[in-house]
Each structure stands twice: as structure tokens, then as C-alpha cells.
Structure 1
Amino acid sequence: MCRAIDEQPELAHNLTIKNNTIAIVSDGTAVLGLGELRPEAVMPVIEGGKAMLHKRFANVNAYPICLGTKDPQEIIKTIKAISPGFGAIHLEDIASPQCFEIEETLEKELDIPVYHDDQHGTAIVVLAGVLNALKLTKKNLEDVKIVVCGVGAAGIAITKMLLAAGAKNIVGVDKEGTITSEKQYDNQMWQWYASQTNADKIDGPLNKAMENADIFIGVADADILKVEDINRMATDPIVFALANPQS
């Protein structure tokens, strides 16, 4: 068996546990609702929150890999080194913007799936919710104005998925206000975001972006959206309040 796999590495998927084994990898820099923690402190999230879900709903064995480095290149190198023993890589609680570099590099250089929960998991659920809400309000995705509050890992991934699904009018808002092509950003992902969204070049705080918005998607801090902001929205407004509650 060993010689067979040595000659044909793809056989490991059928002859070993690789085909049903996932590595859940985290550096502890963006733990849900808690921010940056020691790598060991992420274990309860990975074990109870993610590995258990993989096992319960897909019968997939998932193992926590908590890394003692925050350097993107070291993380990439480590994951590539351990990847032969796993069927997929699940990135977990890695801060933006490093998470984009890590995920994109691994997707290009590995021959197994790479999934970043904070990006893809959130975006999939939001798109499903948006499509259903639009059916109820009898609106079309390509016609509505969408405000995404929080342009980090989740916000950018949500925007990418909405654009791919046909959305035309998306405005991103972060602490500094709207993301617009009229400005230059050190964050390369914000530069990309500015080039793909906010065609009307709205420049200002959240309340300005909310004028006649059909959909609000909040993935920033809690207590940002006010009643007055909702009153500025279009008829039958759709609100996804997804920020973590403050303790």
C-alpha cells in the first residue's frame, strides 16, 4: 500500500483517512467576539464550534491546528507542509487582511480544497438570506442598493459573492466612512473593493450611505445602526444585523 501511494499520491484519498480528514487552522488573531487571543485559547472554538459541526452534520473528522505564529508566510509554509495528511484545509479566526493572502496563496498552491470560514461560511449564508428576502419583497438583486457595514474578511467575501450573483449597487462602509475610488488606501483589499463598488462615489458616514438603501448587511461592531438610518432606507427595507453582540 505504501509503495502504491508513493507512486500514485492520489490513492491516499481512498486508502487512508485523508479523504475524510480536515485540518482546522488558526493563529488566534480574530476570534469571534473576543479579538486576538493566544493560539491555545482558540481550541474551544475549533473543537466545540467547528470540529463538532463537521462531525455531526458531515461525519468528517476535523482536527484543531493552533499555530504559534502570526506571520502569513510562516502560516502558508506550515499549512503546505502538513497538507499531505489532510483532505481539506479549514482556515479559522485569522485576521484581515492577512487572511486573504493566506487563503489565495493556498488555493493556488495546494491540490486540496481551502475554505476560510469567516469569509465563505458567512457569505454563503448571507447570499441565501438576501435572495429569500428579495423574493418576499418582490425586488431584484441587480436593481437594489446594498450597504455592507464592515469591510473586513466577512464584508469583502459577502460583497464578492453578491457581485458574482448579479448585484450591481453595493456601498461598503467602515470606521472611516464609505469606501470610494476617490480615495487611496494602504489596504490592498480596500483598493480592490473601491474599484468594484460604490459606482456613485458616495463619500461620507454610514447615514449618508443609507439613503434609499434596500438592504443593510452589518458585519462590523454592535450598536452602529440607528433607527434614523433605517428610516432613510427604501420601502420594505431588509436588515441583516450580523455583528457580534457586546458583552
Structure 2
Amino acid sequence: MDGATGDTTDTPSAVARQLLERVRREQPTESREHALAALDEASLADLRTDRRSALAFWLNVYNATAQLLLERRPALYESRWRFFRTTAATVAGIDVSLDDIEHGIMRDKQSKYGLGYLPRLARCRFGPAYRLDVDPRIHFALNCGAASCPAILSYDAETVDQTLDGATEQYLAQHVQYDEVLDRVRVPRVCLWFVGDFGGPSGVRAFLRDYGRIPRGASPSLSFDGYDWTRVPRRFDTSE
């Protein structure tokens, strides 16, 4: 049991949450990583059929394993090309990178390049049945260790949408600046990198209206902040 609190449930959702919690508490993670690798295809049925279960699972796996990768192989971060493409986790016997999880699965096999308008050419061994429709809120939930990344939360299938809304609202409140006089709004860089995920510039504005960052009738010009890639210590949301 790694010497940590015993875990008795090995469903995919439970394993992912337990792994993230052990990372948060800086407890040994080997048994949860082995449990993740030992899952079989039958046990992953919910990830193929239930959006909320899949969303919560992959968010937790990404955030947990990104932190473990940073801890165990810190030099990889000096080359982000390598960092995002190296194996970060083994799920049901399948090795996946952070790019596989984010772009191959959670963004419905969309390229990380091309502003969210181009398909991803790289192969992911989790096929079409596992792909999720693009949800731009994930860009305010995934943490790769950079200073501009959002704080890490734990996600549960039953409440994943509410938790994602809270994470998005918190990040936008910290990083969006609206200038009514200049009719301009400064937004996070991810809104440019993945503008297609939002439905284009007009979709970004609609997204900001939905989260109360610009007035309902406003249609300001967009400017995009830079992204601070400075590596920072683990940033878990302490309000949970």
C-alpha cells in the first residue's frame, strides 16, 4: 500500500483521484500508478460512454502525472518538445504522453498547433471511442508546471462540470483585463493558441461574457498576454 492510506477501490475514476491525492500530499504513488497501468479495456467502459467520467478521469491523470514527470525527470522541462511527448503515464497497458492525453483524447485529436483548427497527425493508441468533444474549459484546468498554468483541482464525474466552471471562473478573474474606454480586453495566451476551441474570436468574446468578464453587449478587440513558462512548485488549489 506504499505506506500511505489504504485504497480499496480500483475503478478508473477512483484510481485517478487517489493518484492525484497522493501527489498532492507528497505520499508514495507507486501502487496507484501500477493500478492505473493494470486496468483492462472492460474497466474503461465508462471512459468510452460517459463524457463526465472520461473528463474527470483524464484531467486527474494529466495533472497527477505531469507533476510526477516534473519531479522525476526535471531536465525534460528544458525541452518542452520532449517533455510533452515523452511517456507520462501507462493506462490499461498503454503508454501515453501529456500531448496524447490533452490533444489526442481530450481535444478530439486536434493539433496543438494551427490555433485549434487542424487535426493532430500523431497517433494515439486510445482510439476514436475515447475521444472527447472539445471543451475549452480544460485550458483553465490542465497544469504542466508553468507559472501561467492554473491551480490543480481534483475532479469527480458527478461534479466535473461545476468544478470546471469554478476553475475557469477563477482563472479568468485573475488573468482577464477589460478596458471599457479603449474597448479592449486582454486575455490568456491559451485563448490565442486554441482560439478554434472557443469557436474563433467571437466565441472567445461569448465565453468571456458567459463568465462575466465583459458586459453582455460588449464586443471589444482582443489582445493576448504572454505565457510564463517558468517552472514553479506544485500549485494545488488550497480552497478544496
The TM tier, using the shorter chain, reads: under 0.3
Larger Rg belongs to: 1
Higher strand share: 1
Higher fraction of helix: 2
